[in-house]
Amino acid sequence: MSVVSNFKSHLSKLFAQALREVAPDAAETEILIERPKLAAHGDYACNLAMQLAKPLRKPPRDIAKALIAALPESNVVGKLEIAGAGFINVFITTAAKQGVVRSVLQAGAGYGHVHVGAGRKVGVEFVSANPTGPLHVGHGRGAAVGDCLCNVLHAAGWVVTREFYYNDAGVQIDNLTLSVQLRCKGITPEDPSWPEAGYRGDYIADVAQAYLAQETVEADDQHVHACGDVNDTEAIRHFAVAYLRREQDLDLRAFGVNFDVFSLESALYTDGKVKEVVDRLIASGHTYEQDDALWLRTTAFGDDKDRVMRKSDGTYTYFVPDVAYHLDKWRRGFTRVINEQGADHHSTITRVRAGLQALDAGIPQGWPDYVLHQMVAVLRNGQEVKISKRAGSYVTLRDLIDEVGCDATRYFLAARHPDSQLVFDIDLAKSKSNDNPVYYIQYAHARISAVLAQWGGDRLALLHADVSLLDSEYETALLQQLIDYPQVIENAATELAPHLVAFYLKDLAADFHSYYNASRFLVEDEAVKLARLALICAAAQVMHNGLALLGVSAPDKM
């Protein structure tokens, strides 16, 4: 019997073939395969007959009968039923379900990978913090969500490029430069002359000290040497940005996050890309002068009001370099781009898309895609933690990593829908209890490893286990979890929702713990023993695969 690892995809292909026979003129109709809420309605359901009723001008139940008759034979499908107005309920054979164990063991780390991306390129920009201080917990959420999303997209068949965009130009960089310069001159935030917009964290003193010591900083492919001149504003600016870029990169590496491309806002100016965009927008006829400023008619592209491009002082508003940056992404061949950013960027989406449309560069409407995350509140002992000693005004990502570890930090920051507020409970993240989802999932993996170590046999032998013996309610539940994993990956990639993997892993761990508490594995009956060990070995593999997508380890001992 051939092994099928993704039943939903398999059924889609079967119904597509039946559709071509029953209604060739409607062969492009989208085929939806869903999981019914009630087990009595089968393992999967298809509403294709109801979709075809209008174009074919036939009762959907009659179309359903025709589709069933045209459905190719498959050892996966055990029974088909027509329900209600014309739903086709599909019951998967027990043997096919049990066969998922062998699918997992054979595929190993590749189990769950799907091909919806079909090798296409996607650029994912995330974190993109201003190089003005340590990464805060909000940046950490963006890093966790963005990195997990990249992992999920890769598992779904996309060729992923991870990108970090540094806003190293503008007012905030001016404030950083002045803050470091004042520290170099011995002026502290306690001095009455300290500017209101100046940065007050202890890290500013660290930058100033390194500058005065004439240190050399390596940031990506740059080597920036400090000259130590407290009056050389440009040298201070260059050094401070490089120093904080290096610090942020060290934090991200400690968080298990790496990037393929680093882009600088300043380069868009020095390379003439901002000027090119402004000139093209003026030439397009979508701009006008008013109140000594240059405006873009973004209302022509869905915005609620027109936006200023160039202010009366001659400087550009922040969305202009954003348009230039995204035009550069388009030219680099990214027909799909996803930006993971904080919810405070919501207002920029419409104007950036409007600017790109006004360029008339062939960029489709609604490009790029956005995933926006909400704020994070950090609790300790039930009270919100707001201040980091080093940063002076917020909780840093490094604070969390040092306190609860990388695994718990990544899981907690990625395990909820990005659009929802997140409360990070430090005490829960550090606890070794079933209430802590990270501990709960990792403990399941460690339990399986302990059983397999106690057995001590050759795991290759499990490929030949008689899985037909796996028929208890606990085994059936665990088998269904393994079957669902590829679909979870597909859904997470399609919906840009990596938290679905975290939800799934918690459910998988729950079903395993129930099985563990109700069953014995190292029984005398050799066939039963090997079947049960094969099942839990497959479960451990899927836990390992899912945790890897979240950037979380799968320990063998705890």
Q: What is the pLDDT of residues 242-291, one digit of tens each?
A: 999 999 999 999 999 999 999 999 999 999 999 999 999 999 999 999 99
Mean pLDDT of the chain: 95
Looking at the chain, the whole-number percentage of residues with pLDDT higher than 70 is: 99
Q: How many CB atoms lie within 10 A of CB 533?
A: 21
Could you report the per-residue pLDDT of 168-209, keeping only the tens digit for each? 988 899 999 999 999 999 999 999 999 999 999 999 999 999
Backbone φ and ψ for 427, nearest 5 degrees, come out as -65, -40
pLDDT greater than 80 at residue 220 = no
DSSP state of 173: H
- Please give the pLDDT value at position 451: 98
**Residues contacting residue 57 through CB under 8 Å, at least 6 positions apart:** none
Burial 171-204 (b: 16+ CB within 10 A, else e): ebbebbbbbbbbbbeebebeeeebeeebbbbebb
User: Does domain 7-92 sit in CATH 3.30.1360.70?
Assistant: yes
pLDDT greater than 80 at residue 532 = yes
- Per CATH, the number for 101-109+434-550 is 1.10.730.10
- Please give the pLDDT value at position 1: 45
Considering the chain, tell me which residue range(s) the CATH 3.30.1360.70 domain(s) occupy: 7-92
For residues 104-124, average pLDDT: 96
For residues 488-508, average pLDDT: 97
- Please give the pLDDT value at position 445: 98
SS3 (DSSP) at 219: strand
For residues 480-508, average pLDDT: 97
**Rounded to a whole number, what is the largest CA-CA distance in the chain?**
88
Q: How many CB atoms lie within 10 A of CB 137?
A: 23
The one-letter code for the residue type at 295 is: W
Determine the Cα–Cα distance for residues 313 and 315; give it in Å rounded to an integer.
Answer: 6
Looking at the chain, the whole-number percentage of residues with pLDDT higher than 90 is: 91
Determine the Cα–Cα distance for residues 308 and 263; give it in Å rounded to an integer.
Answer: 24
Considering the chain, tell me which residue range(s) the CATH 1.10.730.10 domain(s) occupy: 101-109+434-550
The one-letter code for the residue type at 196 is: E
10 sits in the region (left: phi over 0; alpha: psi -120 to 50; else beta) called alpha
CA dihedral 100, 101, 107, 108 (to 10 degrees): 140
Tokens read off for 28: 């492009």
- 525, with CB counted inside 10 A (0-12, 13-18, 19+), is exposed
Burial 346-369 (b: 16+ CB within 10 A, else e): eeebbbbbbbbbbbeeebeeebbe
Could you report the per-residue pLDDT of 351-397, keeping only the tens digit for each? 999 999 999 999 999 999 999 999 999 999 999 998 776 777 789 99
pLDDT greater than 70 at residue 536 = yes
Could you report the per-residue pLDDT of 134-177, keeping only the tens digit for each? 999 999 999 999 999 999 999 999 999 999 999 998 889 999 99
- Please give the pLDDT value at position 3: 61
- Please give the pLDDT value at position 169: 87
Angle formed by the axes of helices 233-254 and 397-404, nearest 10°: 30
**Residues contacting residue 284 through CB under 8 Å, at least 6 positions apart:** 358, 359, 360
Sign of CA dihedral 539, 544, 550, 552: positive
